[in-house]
Amino acid sequence: MIPIDISQMEQLSQRIKHLYPSATILMNQRCKDLQTQGIDIINLGVGEPDFNTPEHIKKAAKEAIDNNFSFYPPVAGYNDLRKAIVEKFKRENNLCYDLDQIVVSTGAKHSIANIILTLIDKGDEVIIPAPYWVTYIELVKLAEGKNIIVPTNINQNFKITPSQIERAITPRTKAILLCSPSNPTGSTYTKSELEAIARIVEKYPRTYVISDEIYEHINFVGGHQTIAQFDFIKDRVIVINGVSKGYAMTGWRIGYIAAPKWIAKGCIDLQGQFTSGATTIAQKAAIAALTGEQTCISQMNQAFLRRRDMIYKLINEIEGVKVLKPDGAFYLFPDISSFFGKSDGSTIIKNSYDLCQYLLNKAHISTVPGDAFGNSDCVRISYANSDEKLIEAMSRMKKALAILK
């Protein structure tokens, strides 16, 4: 491997030099590097379902190849996919959208980037509750906006309150970024909580809500609630979703937005200069996902629920760990700050990064430091793994943490 010349790195643009690499991607790569060396690492850091894409979706992709869907697609996505998304919103969320309010992109991350770069100008403020997904703040920085981080804690179930939002709003506030179910905490907003937030937003007509709902289908509280359901602010809500998590299609890279028409048009104009339309074959597979049989969703959801209950019980048996039972997604976000300042005799744990490195080296478990998500007292643990590996991982963790004195 050719080493990077530091002097050449100085020639990079300021926007790139100010970006931090994704901690989740870095930890996942570190895990894979150790695995290639023959070390038995249990990966609890990866943010994707461990299931294979359902057969009827793969079949649709194969048919699309045979039917020569190999030419440039429309920038906003095939109309039949956009129609399927419109029907999904009506069927599952009781939301009505027109076709030209839907934009398909290469993953929900791309959709969020489109929205932020379309909506945020230099100096515009974006309110982001912490803990947050690692990419949010970096995208706001790319847009030259200002991140207004509002801390939440385990005692409030890591959910921002209406009063916190109102205190954070200024004349420069352009957007509030919500994620429910949450990555990294699994916390899920109720209808009444969202309505209370919506009433605050209603009072500030220049402020928009970017609602990341990619974990919609991994929900353990009897149904998903969206802030777009409230008519009095629907024209200021942009919903982000996709097929990655609910249909085990992370590698297919299909995300989408539902937004006011003028915002959707702006995203189309931007995407037309960056990537054009999302991959044709993946779009056809996404149609099958949204319009085909949906039992795969409930089957995966049941597996995640079983795993959540199992790993929650096991981690609660580890002295010094404080954790909430999440209502959705497939993450735990335990507070591990009681181990700060402790040592195994050679390594002193000063922060969540040190603890993750300790667990990786000592217990051969890959997790993600909470610092990356805006909460230095916690680590993110993904339970998108087999029952056997989760049981083994918690056993290893318990033994490794017991050594720290």
pLDDT digits (tens, 9 = 90+) for 85-110: 999 999 999 999 999 999 999 999 99
Answer yes or no: are the C-beta atoms of 128 and 178 closer than 8 Å: no
Q: Give the mean pLDDT of 330-356.
A: 96
pLDDT at 26: 74
pLDDT at 1: 53
Which segments of the chain belong to CATH 3.90.1150.10? 6-52+296-403
Which segments of the chain belong to CATH 3.40.640.10? 55-291
Q: CA dist 46 to 70, 330, 367, Å?
A: 31, 10, 8
Rounded CA gap, 54 and 336, in Å? 37
Rounded CA gap, 236 and 179, in Å? 16
| CATH entry, 55-291, from 3.30.1390.10, 3.30.1330.50, 3.40.640.10, 3.40.50.2000 | 3.40.640.10
| Pairing outcome for strands 368-369 and 379-382 | antiparallel
State percent of the chain over pLDDT 90.
89
**Nearest-5° angle of CA 45, CA 1, CA 11?**
85
Rounded CA gap, 369 and 366, in Å? 10
Q: 6-52+296-403, superfamily in CATH?
A: Aspartate Aminotransferase, domain 1 (3.90.1150.10)
Provide the 3-class DSSP secondary structure of residue 316.
coil
Q: Give the mean pLDDT of 255-279.
A: 98
**Which of 142, 144, 138, 139 lies closest to 123, judged by CA?**
144
Rounded CA gap, 113 and 353, in Å? 27
At residue 2 the predicted structure's pLDDT band, cuts being 50, 70 and 90, is low
pLDDT at 258: 98
- Judged against a pLDDT cut of 90, whether residue 30 lies above it is answered with no
Provide the 3-class DSSP secondary structure of residue 105.
strand
- Judged against a pLDDT cut of 60, whether residue 129 lies above it is answered with yes
pLDDT at 300: 97
pLDDT at 326: 97
